[in-house]
Amino acid sequence: MSTQSLVESEKTENVQECRTLESNPNEMEMSKKALDKLEDQLTVEDVMKLQDVFMPPNFKELVPVNRKTFIDNMVTALGCGVEEEYGDMFDRIDVTGDGFVDWDKVTTFMLLGHYEKEERVKSSLVPQWRDIIFLPSHQKEPIQSIIYLKNSHRYLSLSKDGWMSIWGENLKLQKTLRVATDSVRLRDLWVTSMVSLANVNKVAVAFTSKEICFYDLNSKEEFSCQYKLHGLYNTLICMHYWYNPEDGNEAILSFGDVCGEVNAICFTAALISLFERPASSTDEQETAITISWQELVKGSHKCCFTLNHKEHSKEWVRQVSYCSNLEAFISCATTNLNTIVLGWKEKGTTTLKVTACHVTEGVNAFDYHPGLNLIASAALDHHVYLWNPYVMSKPNGVLRGHLASVIAVQFSMSRRQLFSFSKDKVLRIWDMHHQLCVQRLAGIFPKSLEFQTILYFNEPFGHLFTTFNNQLTLLEMKQDVGNCVTSHEKPVTCVLYNSHFKQVISSDVGSTVTIWMIETGQKIKQFTGCHGNSEITTMALNDTETRLFTASVDGTVKIWDFNGHCHHKLNAGRDQAAEISQILILKRSILILGWESTITVFRMDTLTEFLVQPSEWKGKAQHHNDILCAAFLPPQTLATGSYDGEIVIWNNNSENASCRFHPCFNQALQHKSGILQQESLGNFSTISNGHSSYSPDNEGNECHYVITRMFFLEGRKNISTMDGANLVSCGISGIVRLWNTFKCLLVAEFEAHADALSIIMTVDKKNNYLITGDMNGCIKVWNIQDYCLNYSDVVITQLPPMVAATQPHSDCINHLETCVQDGRLLIVSASADCSIVLSDISGSVIGVFGQDEHWRIGKCSPPSVIKIPPKEEKSPSQKPMRNKEYLPISKHSVPFIEEKIDPDSRVNIWNTTVLGKKFRESRIQRRPRPQLRTCDKIQNPIGTFSSLHMEDLEKIVDVPKPDFLQNSHKYFDGKTEEACNEELIFPTLPETLKVSFDEKSLFSKEMLNREHKIKLLHEEDLNVRKTQ
């Protein structure tokens, strides 16, 4: 094996380990041997021979060896391998670059390598789960289906009696509604299945009345019935929907019934219309269009056609699915014959050709993995059978371990694992490479004798849902962080900077508050159970930064000092749970927002008792939805933003609203008409001179305008009076908007994060930089110092200059904070990956709070600006004008800055493990190596000083005094003092300089450059001190 091939095998080791199940076992074994490192191939006997390498003849102790001796002795002792392999092994052991290795280094290296490999394999195979969550539900009947809506990022659960629960992305219950059909009475209603038609943004629901209703999610009234398919021959009990991601017009809706029949509707123009409209109907017709199944079978609708087979011998079809990789329909039933049936349509035919396999007692469910080309079936005989779809005569494998009938299976596509759930409430996770159970979960699910279960795994989010009748449970998979440093044990929800104490304060979902030193990242204090077991959602500091306010989902806000003593408890939720999103502390009041359309206020003069009740907000409720955030501009301007995107401006002294505005033109008109009907508002006005050009197709959907953060740009000094933007907001879809609150108009908007679900932001105190973070852990820094300073007739959509774009986190960023330390602007980010990262404004990560090594914050050069490819210029008619509705504009793809890695630098693996650290500490104690302070990068010290021999000076003995001191009268006369008082005239430099003086001829170029850089650093320090 050559050195190049060995390096390539090291780089691809992690990728190759994930490719587990291949068609040829012999090729897989040969491939595995080729990828193994040399040390991984050593046996116990080889290790004993390896020890002899470090014990030459006539030596009784182990001695270190150099590189050449190591290679020669290893080849002689082991008799296998080539010199390049042993040379590469020596270089990986000698990470300190000493030129020799000993037996301790070799054994430590091998131990660390096996330990890290074992940890890597273990983390990749065994999922780590958070505590099970029992989601609250108002459904009383068993849940029949769970789906995820990608367009609106919501979960839907539908019960047998037609009650649908809508869950937000944060798994908070948003609303509950009833779906029904006029064919039966509500008390006789029975829902059997539900699927999502993602390409057309619809939902299909099947009823026992032998009909399917298609609900449109883009309509003004969400979940209004658009199509009703009736006249089916039998009652449907399962459905599946597939569409072509490359051509949304191609889609297939397949379903199975109680009589063993599998049917499919193949759409050819789904994006235009699922079914043809009757000639008598019009576009404005709001009633559902009724379609007969007989019409589809006869081919009356040109935009679709039907397929079917009856191979399940009149048994209930438990599950049906269309697999695009196989171009076949898969269905199963609880029967001995034709248990699993594959049906496919050959070219030029209108019927399905089928093949089947037989399983004793039948199958409850199945799932197909296209990468492995395997069908996993959940059998009633307690086994999970694995089938090759091209050879259905017998299974490829059998997974044994369940003690009861298996009722659900589902693949994890990326991890190549299989989830199986049995009747005795045991969840098993199987490794498909070895076909072994790697994890068993039991005893955590609800206790019930008879239950109906659905297993649903949303892999991108790691959410595993299980239902037990009407009870919905959630298991959330932890992110594979490996050796990543974490600051908290649980996801971090908020982070603050205390400039008075120069400390960072953080909170997490486990109700823990931690205080850190900003200068070193060291943990100082930690308070646990601040709100019991309730999650802390947000925090705030008072103006003196001596009191800490913490808010929890239990509806309370507590006021603490930094010794851990709670002084007051604010009953914001009025003894009810409340999702508090922000605490705004003003001079005379405390405003608490997040869970209702009105502002909850506490007066400062009422903070006399421990338990404080809220006061009444004089302005009443002016929002139509929950208020999520607020911003304050001294002396009296208050702005609040709600879930539906509406912004209301208040006078904080009178607590009355003065105006409101909304980015959507139609929403603003609706709010204005609603306000005009209220006579008690007096001079309240709704002005909407500028509106968003990013309006979605469904403007009536309020979740597209959610406002998550708002800040007043009060630090701007060069803003045009009452013309430029003074308020910035952000929220859903990665959009940042800038407003002028004096004229109530939208000044600018831009897409900060393309295809982002939701973003948060913060601004520095001088309002020079805007920092945004998204749900993928990405942070972008924008220079807004000269952005939107003057009035514009059109809504500005040009992006401000981007300074940096990095991804310091692996999960959603929950909070951002800025601070200034040693004249350096820093960013503190808190994430759901349990870490808090400190970085500078240029995107360089300084460290993670809680890491072993303490950092040191130094000076940095001003950040550069990233040039973003410009947009295509629009004609004046295409630009979004005020007082009009606008078309959506194209999205931007902003490139990230890739971190430049010095090729000369070495990765010291001894710092990442306990054994390595101990070895390094012992080595440092033996051979201390003091290092000079460097500026930027210093070259290797190769020059004249490397050849100097330094030794201690000899001791100085007593030196006799010279004769001119002992007998001064012989050498000096009495006029010496007078001569010293005379003014001395020294010769000029040109008179005394005999040879031209040149520093470049006396000193090396490296020394001169280094001295020049040090002078520049000192000058910068002096300038900074003068400015302070």
Q: Which of 65-74, 182-191, 943-952 has the lowest mean pLDDT?
A: 943-952
pLDDT value of residue 731: 86
Alpha carbon distance 689, 294 (integer Å):
53
CA distances from 974 to 893, 961, 977, 983 (A): 90, 22, 7, 18
Q: Crossing angle for the helix pair 67-78 and 83-93, nearest 10 degrees?
A: 130
For residues 87 and 67, the answer to whether their CB atoms sit within 8 Å is yes
Q: Which residues pair with 374 in a beta bridge?
A: 369
Structure tokens at 678: 């209220």
* Tens digit of each residue's pLDDT (9 = 90 or more) over 351-365: 888 999 999 889 999
pLDDT confidence tier of residue 905, bands split at 50, 70 and 90: very low
* Tens digit of each residue's pLDDT (9 = 90 or more) over 45-98: 777 777 777 777 777 777 888 888 888 888 887 777 778 888 888 888 887 788
Q: Which of 388-392, 475-479, 725-729, 894-898 has the lowest mean pLDDT?
A: 894-898
Alpha carbon distance 42, 758 (integer Å):
51
Q: Which residues pair with 145 in a beta bridge?
A: 158
Structure tokens at 285: 């017709």
Average pLDDT over residues 425-434: 89
Give the CA angle between residues 677, 679, 681 to the nearest 5°. 105
Average pLDDT over residues 113-136: 74
Q: Is the pLDDT of residue 946 over 50?
A: no
Alpha carbon distance 766, 779 (integer Å):
19
Q: Which of 45-59, 209-223, 331-345, 399-413 has the lowest mean pLDDT?
A: 45-59
pLDDT value of residue 624: 84
pLDDT value of residue 977: 52
Nearest to 573 by CA among 623, 530, 630, 531: 531
Q: Which residues pair with 831 in a beta bridge?
A: 813
CA distances from 392 to 174, 339, 395, 400 (A): 45, 11, 7, 19
pLDDT top residue among 812 and 222: 812
Instruction: Give the three-class secondary structure for 85.
Output: helix
Q: Which of 236-250, 506-520, 803-817, 869-883 has the lowest mean pLDDT?
A: 869-883
Residue 604 is classified by DSSP as G
CA distances from 929 to 101, 305, 919, 932 (A): 19, 79, 15, 10
Average pLDDT over residues 536-541: 94
> In the chain, pLDDT over 90 holds for what percent of residues?
37
**What pTM value is reported for the model?**
0.51
State CA 435 to chain mean position distance. Answer: 32
pLDDT value of residue 918: 53
For residues 710 and 728, the answer to whether their CB atoms sit within 8 Å is yes
Nearest to 25 by CA among 434, 389, 429: 434
Alpha carbon distance 92, 914 (integer Å):
18
**Numbers of helices and strands, H then E, in the chain:** 16, 60
pLDDT confidence tier of residue 665, bands split at 50, 70 and 90: low
pLDDT value of residue 243: 94
Residue 396 is classified by DSSP as S
Q: Is the pLDDT of residue 263 over 90?
A: yes
Mean pLDDT estimate for the chain: 79
pLDDT value of residue 402: 93
* Tens digit of each residue's pLDDT (9 = 90 or more) over 694-716: 554 444 455 568 899 999 998 87
How much helix, strand and coil, in percent to the nearest 5, is found in the chain?
A: 20, 35, 50
Average pLDDT over residues 628-644: 91
The strand pair at 463-468 and 557-560 is best described as unpaired
**Total number of residues shown for the chain:** 1028
At 765, give phi and psi (nearest 5°): -65, -30
pLDDT value of residue 86: 81
For 922, other C-beta atoms within 10 Å of its C-beta total: 10
Q: Which of 50-54, 386-390, 469-473, 918-922 has the lowest mean pLDDT?
A: 918-922
Residue 525 host element (H or E)? strand 523-527
Q: Which of 518-532, 603-617, 765-779, 998-1012 has the lowest mean pLDDT?
A: 998-1012
Alpha carbon distance 504, 857 (integer Å):
15
* Tens digit of each residue's pLDDT (9 = 90 or more) over 955-1001: 666 667 777 777 777 776 655 555 555 555 555 555 555 455 555 55
Residue 191 is classified by DSSP as E
Residue 91 host element (H or E)? helix 83-93
State CA 67 to chain mean position distance. Answer: 45
| b/e code 692-727 from CB counts within 10 Å (16+ = b) | bbbbbebbebbbbbbbbbbbbbbebeebeeebbbbb
Average pLDDT over residues 770-787: 92
pLDDT value of residue 941: 37
Residue 104 host element (H or E)? helix 103-125
* Tens digit of each residue's pLDDT (9 = 90 or more) over 433-473: 888 888 899 888 888 878 899 999 998 888 999 999 889 99
State CA 319 to chain mean position distance. Answer: 34
Q: Is the pLDDT of residue 766 over 70?
A: yes
Q: Which of 501-505, 614-618, 745-749, 924-928 has the lowest mean pLDDT?
A: 924-928
pLDDT confidence tier of residue 880, bands split at 50, 70 and 90: very low
pLDDT value of residue 602: 94
Q: Is the pLDDT of residue 575 over 80?
A: yes
For residues 238 and 231, the answer to whether their CB atoms sit within 8 Å is no
